[in-house]
Structure 1
Amino acid sequence: MVLVIVVAVLALLAGLAANRWLRPRLLNVDDTEGMAVKDLVGPLLTMTILLLSFVLVTANGSYGRAENAARGEARALDQLVETADYAPKAEQAVVQADAACYARAVVAQEWPAMSDGNGSTAPSVWSTDLRKSFKNVVGQPVFGMLVAADNKRSDERDERLTQASSSIPSTIFWFLLATLVITVAALGVCLPRKNNRGQLITLIVITALMTTALLIIRDVDRPFGGVIDVAPTAITDVQHQAERDFTANHPGTDLPCDVDGNRRAT
């Protein structure tokens, strides 16, 4: 970082020195002639657009990974519920009940917490119960399938929680905002003072577009909160499926959790 700053400062000093001593000798021009402000705004505008585009692609990639993780977790949990049909009756009841309660806890408690980049301990209660129930089927063919599905669920949940945090550091966001402000202000300086309706409208459109891009970056960078968010649709469907399977296989038995995935008092 220090090296970059030093090199940039040296380049600036070298440019100013060349302007002071070399320019009069190499170019036969008046000292009052040179680049106008509008000539300098073009590269600044280009840089701003490139930065916004690059960061938008980065944020969109994080959003895509979050969506894939949420769907992958739901698929793994669904596979866990279906595999439980091959387990003994007692273990089948535990696995399907824990899977339904796990899904309830994710939807009701962990999903809202992820809007702020946080997680919840509520789903871990049921994932721990799941692993405990696997011990009763060690040595049976279903054991390997249950463990594989649960490992997949765990990996996808970790990825989902990772993507809930902002992938773009706040420093970069504020730098983009500062660049946008400088660019818009510089464009405003270059506008003619009279007969400027067309240029003024263009400036307003450019400002609106760049501001919208920055707002989209801010929103997409937090994929589980905001306007453009990843909804818990997939895992909600699995939750309902697990509840139906549990009720069909064990009629008259209640799930060991409430609607928010909290363990019922015994």
Structure 2
Amino acid sequence: MGIALLVVLVLAALATLLVVERARKEHRPERKDAPALDYVNTFISTLYMVLLALVVVVQWQNVDQINSDLRTESTTLTALVQTAQRMPAAEGAVVRRSAIDYADAVLAHEWPPPSDAAEDAAARAIDTGQAAVTHPVAAGDSLGTIEDQAIGEYQALAAARDDRLAASNSETSPILIVALGILSLITILTPLALGLRADALAFTGLAVTTLLVCLSFWFVLDLDSLYHGLIHTDATPLHQFLDAPGSD
């Protein structure tokens, strides 16, 4: 839907520029109520900028939230590997393996998130690790303290994962995208509908406005792709964890 709106916007903008250029060549006289028309144009442009800023802020927050959660997951996985080194060999091996399996599962099945939830290898890795460290221990036992620490790290890992997946599924409302597309067209067409001055300066101004509006709308569509595009989420922290010594 977004791409279709962008195509419509560009075609309408080109048609508008052709009509305005023809009007300029015909030397249409300037309207007498120019101040009132400038007020209307300013009002519409303000509405457009407010809506554009709202959409961009929402999308940018989603990208930042996912990156923040992923950094938290990577840090927690590193802490789990360090905690595993203080455990008995058998138990520590399970914890370390679960951390590596978790990172592999996220990169393979949750980056970007799949369209269905059939594959849940990351959750299974967390469950496997928790099962290895969750059992009764004697009060004051140092091993029990280490296991409690590992359990807390698994809980933090699960919470960060839930936040990341929730942010990944928080797509921009189609209503906002459609509204922005319509307002973009209005922003371009209004000067012509109200009577654009038939001179080169007015035509140049409308051409620049059209270019900026089209680029802004494209940027919104690009930013809505959380895992692709100019500004997108970054899986580098997980790759660094897997490449770090002790994680192979």
TM-score > 0.5 by shorter chain: yes
Amino acid at match of 2:113: A
Q: 1:220 aligns with which of 223, 241, 244?
A: 223
> For the structure 1 residues 240 and 218, does the alpha-carbon distance in structure 2 shift closer, same or farther, using more than 3 Å as the test?
same
Task: Please provide the CA RMSD for this pair.
Answer: 2.7
The answer to whether structure 1 residue 64 and structure 2 residue 59 are counterparts is: no
Counterpart residue number, 1:124:
123
The answer to whether structure 1 residue 172 and structure 2 residue 176 are counterparts is: yes
> For the structure 1 residues 224 and 33, does the alpha-carbon distance in structure 2 shift closer, same or farther, using more than 3 Å as the test?
closer
After superposition, give the CA deviation of every residue in 1:170-193 in whole Å (9 maximum; x if it has no partner).
111111111111111112343334
The answer to whether structure 1 residue 102 and structure 2 residue 105 are counterparts is: no
How far is the alpha carbon of 1:160 from its aligned partner?
Answer: 0.7
CA distance in 1: counterparts of 2:231 and 2:116, whole angstroms: 15
> For the structure 1 residues 33 and 54, does the alpha-carbon distance in structure 2 shift closer, same or farther, using more than 3 Å as the test?
closer
Counterpart residue number, 1:240:
243
After superposition, give the CA deviation of every residue in 1:116-137 in whole Å (9 maximum; x if it has no partner).
6979412122112111111257
| Structure 1 portions without partners, runs of 5+ | 1-31, 248-266
> For the structure 1 residues 67 and 142, does the alpha-carbon distance in structure 2 shift closer, same or farther, using more than 3 Å as the test?
same
CA distance in 1: counterparts of 2:227 and 2:109, whole angstroms: 13
Q: 1:158 aligns with which of 153, 156, 162?
A: 162
Percentage identity across paired residues of the two chains? 23
Q: Tell me which structure has the larger Cα radius of gyration.
A: 1
Specify the SS of the correspondent of 1:86.
Answer: coil
How far is the alpha carbon of 1:35 from its aligned partner?
Answer: 7.8
CA distance in 1: counterparts of 2:63 and 2:101, whole angstroms: 26
Amino acid at match of 1:122: A
Counterpart residue number, 2:150:
146
> For the structure 1 residues 118 and 60, does the alpha-carbon distance in structure 2 shift closer, same or farther, using more than 3 Å as the test?
farther
With the length of structure 1 as denominator, give the TM-score of the two structures.
Answer: 0.70
| Structure 2 portions without partners, runs of 5+ | 1-31, 139-143
CA distance in 1: counterparts of 2:69 and 2:118, whole angstroms: 15
Bigger relative CO (Cα 8 Å, ≥ 6 apart)? 2
CA distance in 1: counterparts of 2:164 and 2:153, whole angstroms: 16
How far is the alpha carbon of 1:233 from its aligned partner?
Answer: 0.5
CA distance in 2: counterparts of 1:200 and 1:120, whole angstroms: 55
The answer to whether structure 1 residue 205 and structure 2 residue 208 are counterparts is: yes
Counterpart residue number, 1:192:
197
Counterpart residue number, 1:52:
52
How far is the alpha carbon of 1:85 from its aligned partner?
Answer: 0.8
Aligned residues between the structures: 211
Amino acid at match of 2:148: G
Specify the SS of the correspondent of 1:173.
Answer: helix
How far is the alpha carbon of 1:73 from its aligned partner?
Answer: 1.1
CA distance in 1: counterparts of 2:39 and 2:84, whole angstroms: 69
How far is the alpha carbon of 1:38 from its aligned partner?
Answer: 4.6
